[in-house]
Structure 1
Amino acid sequence: MLGPTFLANTFLATNTVPALIYSIVAGPVLALVVVPAVVGSLAERGVGASALLLRRLSGLLVTTSAALALLLVLASPVLAWSLTLGVSAEPERAESLRLTQIMLVFVAPQVVLYTVAALGAAAQQARKRFALAAAAPALENIGLMITMAVAAAVHGAGLDVGEAPTGLVVLLGTGATLSVAAHAAAQVIGTARVGLSIRPARGWRSDPAAGQAAQRLRRSIAVAALPSGAFYVLLALSATVRGGVLVLQMAYAVYSVPSALGARAVTTAALPGLSGAAKAGDDVGYAAAWRQALSYGLTVGVPALCVLVGFAGLVADVLANGELRTPELIPTLAACIAVLGVAQLAAGVHEIGRQALFARLDVTGPRLAGVVGFVSTVLAGSACLLLPAGPPRLVALCGAVLLADAAAAATATVLIGRAIRPAALVDLAGAAATGAGAVVILPVICAGVVLTGTGEGGRLLDLAVAVPLTALAGALFVLASTAVGSRLRGAS
């Protein structure tokens, strides 16, 4: 609906800012802190006291997030300036600046709503109820789809900042915020259904359990803030290209899928073993658990790399619809997906290494890896401004993501290596098996690229060819890597 325009940059960048600010307040670590606190309280003090603990934590976090939402509104002129640097022509730049400020004001409440939603999801998880907590975020997507449909019907598609009325920006901002509100409301309902409440209450300072949870959250701020800061830098830099934020976020969404299905799933499964071995002082067990987690991460990340790089053109062609279906955008998006397809492997290793360090109660190591990734993003991303404001700059920005992920992964891996020395850092048999599996599937993927690259049969036919070939490649990867791994381990 928006197309490759500066208006698309404005909407997507500003609508991302509240989520980034929420990540700094608590973000992905909130559940890791709140769930254990509530579970422990349920076991020791019962439902009533645990509900009060949760309400006190809610009071702290909602108050903090509300203050940050207000700060977002006050800082909107500065943020708008940083997100519109790429609009150089007047009066287009002045109008873009004005619309960005308006949008920031309308999306600012999302900071509070994301906090409420996360608290509700954590409360349900503490009571071992997962379905609604996992499904509720889909309401945001549905709400955004409805918002876009209404905006297209009322104002039309493909408008840029010089043509877009203020009413369109207000509609987009309001619809996006109401979508997050629907998500938060569902999580509140789910919390009530498990007998808890996230209605804010005072007294968290006088509650030892709430105070300890708050202290752990404060210690994690730097770890959460660095990735959020790095992504904001990418948003600001990609906004210098017309439609650049849109291309970057679409490619980034594809890049996030293997990490969500791979590294995060691996760390969820491996974290208890890593934590248990670290707590018991079992260095041998900890090293073995790390090597296994890394091996599993590579097992998921390597075939994903092959598929994303091989079928980047097809993925871009499928995603480019409506106003996005332009001859220039599709190859640019394909190149970005291919580069980030490599980056997701490094990002997965970084995530596994970071969680392994956390399992040792090491906060300094993950913070150092985050600093390395942030500095790499700023330096490499800033250098991309030397390139023309078009496809070369966007592809180079994705290269900056790859560099930052690789630097952070290397930092975390080196720290793990020091911690487990003299034990081996990598399971060589597992790495060789993964490499063998990759070699086996390459001909299948190459055949798929050749068969789907003609453009004669249309997207549906290309998908009909690519999907079964991808499934075949996955099956061959499993068979080859399992066979080679078993033989190597048997020989050793």
Structure 2
Amino acid sequence: MSTVDNSGREDTARNSAIVLVFTLTSRATGLVRVLVIGALMGDTFFANIFQAGYVLPNTIHSTISGPILAMVLIPSIVRALDNHGITRSRELFARVGGRIVAMTAAAAALLMLASPLVAWSFTAGIPADQRDRAFHLTLVLILFVAPQVPLYALSALGVAAQQSRGKFALAAAAPGIENIGTIVTVLAATWIYGQGLQVNEASDANMIFLGVGTTASVILHAGLQMYGTWRVGLLGGSVRGYSGDADAKDAVRRVVRSIPIAVCPAITNYVLTVLAAPVAGGVLVVQLAYQVYYALSYLGSRAVSMAALPKLAQEAGTENPRRFGIAWRQALYYATLAGLPATCLLASFYPQTADLLANGEMREANLITNLGLCLLVAAFAQMAGGMHDFGRQALFSRLDDRGPRIASYVGFFVGIAVAAGTLLLPADGTRLVGLLVCVLAGEAASAITVLSRMRLRLRPESFINHTHVVAIGLATLAMAPVIVGGRWLLGTLAPERYLVLLVLLACGAIALAAFLAVVRYVGDRITAEAL
């Protein structure tokens, strides 16, 4: 008689729920951050250069390692723990971390040196009467936020350390503290210097205040992640001995080899920012849609992939294809379930969502329309992005960094080709929608690439469990009556904004409850896999 192994499935489900809950807090505050910036700064070029400049250090960090760092480092730490214990894991973490922080510190210095060129790229499309002042303010901001690059590296190392020990809560929640700090900074700057400022009305002191405040917020974030690292016992190792540590060298080599994986989306994001900058408020619209895209993705498929990586790495280390196959199919099932409700709901209610998100200085009809179309594209992009992230994490768990690199190249060239096509569109809201299509096309191409490679690596094990497909299909259909009813109600009543929000929340809750009820009912009967 075969026995059913539920432990892996329960661990993945529990950890996914933890990541989802705490990521919800962080991503919600990230969305509020962009909404506050938009509401207080409006569709101005000053808002454009601030939005472009203060996210630049995170983009630079992502170019060097970013989320790839955790994907590469977690399997190494897990294997060191299983084979040699906590002391060896602490040494490995310290030696790899020392190299990563040194690399990002050098990148921060290079950013300062290149700041005139970067500032020019963000302001070249701004009208001539504001261009010089915009260039100067952007330059000031970059110099004050550049130290954030190694701080983000510390934060990413802390996330990897905690997740490798099965701790997900603080790692997922800490970015929310940074977002709150940024919100407080923007509110204080607006109170002191005024809101809705044009470039020529903004002072150097205003931009310095914003730069110092956002950097202080990142310091707090990094401190929390280091505290989490200390709690799991991985803080305090010596960075000495790297030259004789083959495992540390291998981990760093894999990080370096994986740099193209991080570079491609970072460059794409930079290109999107540059192309959106000539549209007044365009960077805010794109970044707001990007926040929704990332928020939904990290609350969905990416949450599962982060939670599943330690388990996948552990099973890959046993070199038992059967056990790894079971872990893969369970995680794929949860990743798909996590992403589908958000896609269906946002794609169905994108006009109303855009109207709710546009507040204060952003309440302009054409801007709301284009934001809505951007959100429609983002609804599908988050699902594609989640599947891309999940597939490459599974490949990393098998110490395969070549597949994720190939996928990044494919997605990058597809995305850049679409982005180049947007230059044929007028520099208005139409171009902004095209830029989000670029994100969708790139993520879809990358997802297809990594999933195809995983299918080859899994053979002769099955890639999917067909009963999972049945459960997913039935659960998705269960949401349809609720969505149709909600659209009819909104179209018939045309309620005030606060009632629209209530209707959307009610439809989302009821649709999600129906989805989960079917998953639970069907899952209890047909989704268990026998060893």
Q: What TM-score do the two structures reach when normalised by structure 1?
A: 0.88
Distance 1:269 1:155 in 2: 43
Distance 2:472 2:41 in 1: 41
* Aligned residue number for residue 344 of structure 2: 306
* Aligned residue number for residue 408 of structure 1: 446
- Note the 1:214-225 alignment, pairs <5 A: 214-225=252-263
Would you say 1:374 and 2:402 are equivalent positions?
Answer: no
User: Residue 107 of structure 2 is aligned with which of 61, 68, 72?
Assistant: 68
Note the alpha carbon deviations across 1:302-346, whole angstroms, 9 max, x for none.
Answer: 222110111222322222222122222222211111111011122
Paired letter, 1:382 = A
Distance 1:55 1:295, change over 3 A: closer
State the number of aligned residues: 489
User: Residue 477 of structure 1 is aligned with which of 512, 515, 519?
Assistant: 515
Would you say 1:81 and 2:120 are equivalent positions?
Answer: yes
Note the alpha carbon deviations across 1:409-432, whole angstroms, 9 max, x for none.
Answer: 122222233334566544444334
- Note the 1:234-383 alignment, pairs <5 A: 234-271=272-309, 274-275=312-313, 278-279=316-317, 282-283=320-321, 286-383=324-421
Distance 1:135 1:368 in 2: 32
Q: Helix, strand or coil: the match of 1:10?
A: helix
Note the alpha carbon deviations across 1:378-420, whole angstroms, 9 max, x for none.
Answer: 1101111111111111111111111111111122222233334
Distance 1:121 1:399, change over 3 A: closer
Distance 1:42 1:479 in 2: 38
Paired letter, 2:100 = L
User: Residue 399 of structure 1 is aligned with which of 437, 444, 447?
Assistant: 437
Contact 1:119–1:198 (8 Å) recurs in 2: no
Paired letter, 2:243 = R
Contact 1:53–1:210 (8 Å) recurs in 2: yes
Q: Which moved more, 1:376-385 or 1:98-107?
A: 98-107
Distance 2:310 2:171 in 1: 22
Q: Which moved more, 1:40-49 or 1:220-229?
A: 40-49
Structure 1's unaligned 5+ residue stretches are: none
Distance 2:248 2:273 in 1: 35
Q: Helix, strand or coil: the match of 1:241?
A: coil
Percent of residue pairs identical:
44
Note the alpha carbon deviations across 1:48-96, whole angstroms, 9 max, x for none.
Answer: 7765654444432222211110100111122222222431x21322222
User: Residue 31 of structure 1 is aligned with which of 70, 73, 98?
Assistant: 70
Note the alpha carbon deviations across 1:425-469, whole angstroms, 9 max, x for none.
Answer: 444443344233333322311221233357854332222222122
Note the alpha carbon deviations across 1:108-165, whole angstroms, 9 max, x for none.
Answer: 0000111223334444556666554443322211211111111111211111223222
Distance 2:522 2:233 in 1: 51
Distance 1:358 1:304, change over 3 A: same
Would you say 1:95 and 2:159 are equivalent positions?
Answer: no
Contact 1:304–1:341 (8 Å) recurs in 2: yes
* Aligned residue number for residue 3 of structure 1: 42
Distance 2:323 2:168 in 1: 31
Distance 1:362 1:325 in 2: 47
Contact 2:410–2:442 (8 Å) recurs in 1: yes
Displacement of 1:46: 7.5
Q: Which structure is higher in RCO with an 8 Å CA cutoff and minimum separation 6? A: 2
Note the alpha carbon deviations across 1:92-113, whole angstroms, 9 max, x for none.
Answer: 2222222222211111000011
Distance 1:70 1:92 in 2: 28
Q: Which moved more, 1:196-205 or 1:393-402?
A: 196-205
Displacement of 1:223: 1.9
Distance 1:128 1:262 in 2: 19
User: Residue 436 of structure 1 is aligned with which of 474, 494, 515?
Assistant: 474
Paired letter, 1:6 = F
Structure 2's unaligned 5+ residue stretches are: 1-39
Paired letter, 1:86 = G
Q: Which moved more, 1:429-438 or 1:365-374?
A: 429-438
Distance 1:432 1:239, change over 3 A: farther
Distance 1:365 1:227 in 2: 16
Distance 1:286 1:47 in 2: 24
* Aligned residue number for residue 188 of structure 2: 150
* Aligned residue number for residue 159 of structure 1: 197
Contact 1:56–1:204 (8 Å) recurs in 2: yes
Distance 2:121 2:232 in 1: 44
Distance 1:201 1:466, change over 3 A: same
Distance 1:130 1:160, change over 3 A: same
Displacement of 1:206: 3.9
Contact 2:91–2:237 (8 Å) recurs in 1: no
Contact 2:304–2:338 (8 Å) recurs in 1: no
Displacement of 1:19: 0.8
Contact 2:79–2:317 (8 Å) recurs in 1: no
Distance 1:293 1:482 in 2: 16
Q: Helix, strand or coil: the match of 1:137?
A: helix
Would you say 1:110 and 2:173 are equivalent positions?
Answer: no
Contact 1:116–1:198 (8 Å) recurs in 2: no
Paired letter, 1:71 = L
* Aligned residue number for residue 6 of structure 2: none
Distance 2:273 2:409 in 1: 18
Distance 1:289 1:127, change over 3 A: closer
Distance 1:392 1:286, change over 3 A: same
Give RMSD over aligned pairs.
3.1
Q: Helix, strand or coil: the match of 1:242?
A: coil
User: Residue 231 of structure 1 is aligned with which of 269, 276, 301?
Assistant: 269
Q: What TM-score do the two structures reach when normalised by structure 2?
A: 0.82
* Aligned residue number for residue 483 of structure 2: 445
Paired letter, 2:440 = L
Q: Which moved more, 1:413-422 or 1:345-354?
A: 413-422
Displacement of 1:189: 4.5
Distance 1:454 1:352, change over 3 A: same
Distance 1:271 1:66, change over 3 A: closer
Distance 2:313 2:448 in 1: 22
Displacement of 1:41: 6.2
Displacement of 1:192: 5.1
Q: Which moved more, 1:145-154 or 1:155-164?
A: 155-164
Paired letter, 1:186 = L
Distance 1:338 1:127, change over 3 A: closer
Paired letter, 2:366 = E
